[in-house]
Amino acid sequence: MNQQAVASNTSSATWAGSAAAAGQTQFVSFAIGNDQYGVDIMAVREIKGWTDITHLPKQPDYVRGVLDLRGAIVPIVDLRCRFGQGLTETTPLHIVIIVQIDGRQVGLIGDRVLDIVSVDAAEIKQVPDTGGTDAANFLAGIVTLENVLIALIDLENLLSV
Q: What is the rounded CA–CA span in Å between residue 125 and residue 141?
A: 5
Q: Distance between terminal CA atoms of the chain? A: 34
So what's the pLDDT on residue 83? Answer: 87
Structural domain that includes position 154: 3-158
Give CA–CA dist 82/158, Å, rounded.
8
- Cα–Cα distance for residue pair 43/9, rounded to 1 Å: 8
Query: What is the number of structural domains in the chain?
Result: 1
Q: What is the DSSP string of 65-87?
A: EEEEETTEEEEEEEHHHHTTS--
Cα-trace Rg, the chain: 15
From first to last of its 161 residues, the chain has per-residue pLDDT tens of 433 333 333 333 344 444 445 588 999 999 999 999 999 999 999 999 999 899 999 999 999 999 999 999 999 999 999 988 899 999 999 999 999 988 899 999 999 999 999 999 899 999 887 766 565 678 999 999 888 999 999 998 887 75
Question: pLDDT tens for residues 76-97?
Answer: 999 999 988 899 999 999 999 9
Q: Are strands 95-101 and 44-49 parallel, antiparallel or unpaired?
A: antiparallel
Q: What is the CATH number of the domain that holds 46?
A: 2.40.50.180
